[in-house]
Structure formats: structure tokens, C-alpha cells
Structure 1
Amino acid sequence: MEQEAVQRLAAEAVREVRRGTPSEDGRSSVLMLVNAILDTALAEEATDIHLEPMAGRLRIRLRVDGLLRVRPVVLPAELAPVIIARLKVMAGIDTSRRNRPQDGQLRYVYGGRTIDMRVAVLPVVDGERMVVRIMDAAERFLGCAELGFTQENQEIFERLIRRPTGLLLLCGPMNSGKTTTLYAAISALNDPNCHIMTLEDPVERRIEGVSQFEVHPEAGLTFVAGLRAALRQDAQKILLGEIRDGETAEMAVRIALTGHALFSTMHTEDAVSAVFRMIEMGVPPYLLAATLSGVIAQRLVRRICPHCRETYPVAPDSRAAVQLGSMYRTGMTLARGRGCACCHGSGYRGRMAIHEVLPVSEGIRAAILTACDREALRRAAEADCGATLWQDGMAKAAAGETTIEEVARALYG
């Protein structure tokens, strides 16, 4: 919905709140305003909506292609409680409790589709802050060939996920596409002859034919308890949402040691760091060396907008030429987006992944067993890791899929 229409609804909602009754035609402007906010986010393909009460106003930000954008809509502070309350009701959250964090889920119909959304409320100084995570259950799962892997990395990835035993780790910060990659792996392996279980917090999307388990720590249903239960369910492949602590890490390794294939995620910056993080969590090096089959690090970078894409030459003495390193060739051109209405002036539309794929070889196993330092393990990994995150990003920038600046932003801020 256009900004002017939202502002008009906001003005009507203020009058409605002050009057205490809906408009003369019986329609609630507050409900219409909340629907307009959700419709705008879905139209712009946002993944998150941030509703933030501030001094004198309610700020709305949308996360689009991984970056937060402030909506140019001014909503008065007196609308914040009623907008938050309306979304609480839609998500089944207790509206009378405003002094503690709360979570809920809602379903919203947009364009003939039912969209699942996860709602999280947090009390802050100026009221209650809310984040709405948009999860389109109708969106199809990506295939392994659509994850942005190079041909070589895709072959390694598919080989790793099809191993009957072992531990495969995906690492990267929040919102780097780790869950999407794991779901693609599970979808590729989903077969009536194989029992697959997932342990998640929360279950983000339903996968038909897969046993999905949602943890509830307050009820004693933790990741560790779920892993023990999975062993009694005759599971062959297990997706563990995240390894957060030493107990979960050691349990995951021991399950992989007993003839199961286990996939999980960690928040580390690269593949080598994931190995050291497991050791720092207390996993004995001999167990890690025996079970770890591979580590994949990834980030999401924005794609160049196809509607305003243009090419430009790279000068031999330019910074871009230096950053490209051995990939630079005389007369080389790169691509960028000028900025248009389709990409809201950013020059980017959509996202893709860059990867670092590290299959664990005998040399790396030996390095883990000797508990060598990080740099020694990194040198041992260089022979087996096809490309670092930076190198994979530079290759995709050279191919005109993204920009050098975007790769640098995703990796280094």
C-alpha cells in the first residue's frame, strides 16, 4: 500500500482510538492499518518486520535482502499500544502481560496464500517492541543445485550429506542461510526407505515424510533430550537445529560415532573456527577427528538487480583489481546496479550464498588429533578447501552475480 494511504489510515486510527469506537461505516481503522503494514512487508518480500516504540512515534523497519530499511511512515506514539495489541491477539499472545518477553504465531492470508509468521514481543523503555518473522510455508524448498554452490562444491556437498555416518557442520552468523541449506539437504535425502528426524527451536517449515521435533527447554525437552529420544526412534539421519553448548556438542559427536549421520549448525566465522569451537566446548579431539565428515561456512550476499544492471571496466591500478587478485584480467568488466524502482534504489534484488566447503581429510584428522593451533590447522585445510569465503565471493563478483563491495560488507561489515 502507498505511503499516503498508510498515513491516511494512521490518521483515521488515531481518531478511532481517541473516540473509542470504529468509524461510522463500522470498519476498524486500526485493523486496516495493521493489515496494511503486513501487506507492505509481504509486497516488498521482507523477512522481518520491526515495530519499535520511540519517543513520540512508532518506527517501522523492514528487513529486505538482509538489510533493515526504515519505512517512510510516521505513526504517532499513541498508536503503538493498539497496533502491538492487535498483532498480539492475532498471534494468540496474552495482551494483559506487558512486562515480560512473549512469543506467538499467526497465519495471514495474502494474495490467496496463507503466510505463517512468528511474533516476538519484548518490553522496552518506551513500551513493547515487536519483531514479526515472515515464514512462507507455501514457498518451495530449494534444491541442492539452487544453493549457489560452484560445481565442485556442490559435488562435495552432495557427497557429504549422503554419507551414512558422520557429523556435518554448517557455520555462519544469524541470517546466513544455514537452515535453508540444511532443509535442502533433508529434502534431497527424503525417501520412504530412510527415517529422518529434525530437532529444531522452533520448527520453521514442515517437511512431509520427516519426523520433526520442537524443543521446549522449560518442559525439559532440550536438544540433548531430543537426541537421546531420536536414538530410540531408529532414526538414520538427524538434523539438529544448533549446537549451543558442550553437552549438546558431545552428545552430537557420540551419536555420529554410533552409526548415524547428523547435520547441525554453529555460529562461527569460517570452517576452521568451527573445528576449534567444538574442541573449546569440551569435545575430545579424538572423538571429533573420528566423526567430523565436513564443515561448510556460508554467508548471504545481495544479487545485482537485473532491471538496472550495468557493466563497467576495471582499471589495472584500481582497488577492485587488487581485491580480485589473480582473477583480474586486462580489459575485465564488472557489474553493478544503478538503482531503480524495482530495487528501491539499492541496486540489489534478491540474495545468493557464498561458501567455504571443507571436507575432512586424513591430514585434517591428524591435525585435530594433535590439537594443533588455529593457523596450523588452517594450513592443513588449504589443500582440501577449494576456495575461502572471500575467494568464492570474488569469483561470483567476477561472474557479474554480485559486487565486490557487497562481498566485503557481508564478510567484514
Structure 2
Amino acid sequence: MNTIQIRLSFMMFLQFFIWGAWFVTLGTFLGNNLAATDGQIGMAFATQSWGAIIAPFIIGLIADRYFNAERILGIIHLIGAGLMYLMANTTDFTLFYPYVLGYMILYMPTLALVNSISFRTMKDPKADFSKVRVFGTVGWIVAGLAISYVFSWDSPQAIDQGYLENTFLLAAVASLVLGIFSFTLPKTPPKISKDETVSIKDMLGLDALKMLKDRNFLVFFIASVLICIPLAFYYQNANPFLAEIGVNNPTGIMTIGQVSEVLFMLLIPFFLTRFGIKKTLLIGMLAWALRYLLFAYGNSGELMFMLIIGIALHGICYDFFFVAGQIYTDSKAGEKFKSSAQGLITLATYGVGMLIGFWAAGQISTIYTFSDGLHDWEMIWLWPAGFAFVVFVIYMFTFKNEEIEYEKVDI
């Protein structure tokens, strides 16, 4: 690994360390430190979706036209460090929400910025990007392990004492470091001239809507939006669920999901070759239903193994649907629509799909909350399990299998 790759790897490590340091425990923090309702917790998580929806405008109007990508990355993370500090010191949800909304509107564009800096700096992105991107997953894992096993901020006693606010301070420090470090990254000037006209359709990738005329891709597109609804339940409820039922080191245990994500990523080429795109996607969707059934009937005692398996299924859930879906989208798009097609899928899934999902998770969690503030987790998890299974069945009977040339895809 050369010097450039090392610097890019450190950038990726910090980028996802920051996200993993506070986002995983956000629901637990809001419920315990700010006494937020399940509906309010859903609103907070939905800021990720609003950020995903607004991100193309920030990238298209500012980053791609006026400033070097590494500079705007640095500025955003410096501002983000300040917002993280404010969130750590907020004791009321009505004050917290504007901070987290502002943060996510700024953070979500940085996901595209770090990719842009990497792709435009590497001599051979197809060969080198995955080697650099994996350090982002490592960063997320390290953040979770630090919270659980180094600082123990998610232990029952620490949660009761409000120590989860420290996760925001940890993210603030990492954001400050990345903000400063970003200015040392390779120069990545704007791709578009200030005088060049870029339409909203171009920024949002709406040219790729023409792909929806293909029946198979339309079915895949709709399924992608729908499967993000049960996905939102995991992001929003998994950590509060584990903490509430008395699982020790819940944040650290959840990093098993990221480890499995790396492992199953390596198996995607095999599954695409052996089973084809339809069966690979179906395996991913079925895994969502199975994991939520395991959550519904597992516990922190003798059935703890069910929860561990459910968390470990994250690699199949995410890789076999979302990563395989990106490969499928790329293969269907052709050279003209490759970027816009990926942008459209991201907007539809992390934007629209998860926005609906976070709202639904908040509403269902509220319905199944007891008077003492505890939850009927069995019923809460059965809802996304059933929904994922319905999407699985519909997809199975409406999507026709087809061969794709995944070897030509940049992952």
C-alpha cells in the first residue's frame, strides 16, 4: 500500500468511525438521556434520510462547481465537530433535533466526497478502491468496540448515569481530526465549470428514470424502496432493544454485523455466478425476515445465540441485497446512466425508503410501549419480519432472473 492509499484509508477510517461512534447508540441515548418518545426517536433517525435527499444539491451546486472536494470535506467536518459538541450538551429533544438535522444534512454529502477524492486520486480505482473502503468498515467496528469494551458507556449503569453523551464527544474529536486532516489530502478540484449549467434533473440522477421502462428494473427499484422500511427498524431499534433486555456491551456486540458485512462481501461474486442475481437478491431479502424473527423470540439468557445470529445476518442482509443491487443497477445502466442510476437508487432507498421506515418504526414502537416505558419487542420485531417476507414473496413472483456481467462493475 503506497502513501496515497494510506492517507485515503485513514480518511475512510475516520469518516465511518465518526458515524459509528454516535449513530448506533442514538436511540438508546435519546430514550434515556433526553426522555424522547419513540416518535421523536424516529424523527431523529429520519434526519439521515433528509440528509440523503438534500445531499445531491450540496454536491451538485457547491462541491462539483466551486471548491476542491478535500477542502469542503474539511470544512464540513470542522462544523460537524461543533454540532457534535452541542448535541452532547443538550438535555432537551426540541433543542437536540435542529442540531442533528443540521449535522446529517452536512454529513451525508461527505459520503460522496470521500468516494470522489478516492476515485479521482487512485491510478486504478477498480483494483484499489475496495482496499481503501474496507477501512471505513473497520472504523465503524473500532468505534463500537471502544464504546462497549474500552469506555463501557453502554453498560446499564453507565446508561443510567447518562454517559452515552460521551459518544458525541468522541465523534466530535474524530470529526475535528478529520476536518484538519482533510486539508492535507490530494487536491481534488471541481469537475464542473462555474459557468456550466447543471439542472436539478442532472443532480438527482433523474435521467436514470428511463431505466424504469425495463420491467425487471422497475420491480427491483420498488423492492429496494420497500426493503428499506424494515432496514430502518434495525438502525433505529436494535441498540435500544439490546440495552433494554439486558444484553451486556450491546454496541460492541453489534459490530459482529460489520464483521459479517466484510466477510459476505467476498462471497458476492460466487453467489452471482452460482445462483444468479434473482436468487442472490432473494437470499438478502429473506435474511431480513429471518433476523427479525430471531430478534422477536431471542433473549439475553439461554436464547442469546438467536440474537447473535440475527446480528451476524447483517452481512447477508446488506451485501446480498444492497451491494448486489448496486452491481445489478450498474450492469443495467450502461455507460451513459451509470452515475445517475446509482444516485437515483441511493435517493430512493436511503432517502425515501428509510424516511418511511423510520416513521413506521417510531409509530409501531409507540403502539407497543407499556406504561412503564418498556416495550413489547416481540410484536415490534414481527412487523418488519412480516413486511420483509411480503416483499420477498412479491419479488420472487414478479422478477425474472437474468444474467449480469458483474466482472465489469466497479464496486
TM over 0.5: no
Larger strand proportion, structure 1 or 2? 1
Higher relative contact order (CA 8 A, sep 6+): 2
Computing the radius of gyration from Cα coordinates, the structure with the larger value is 1
Larger helix proportion, structure 1 or 2? 2
Q: Scaled by the length of structure 2, what TM-score is found?
A: 0.23
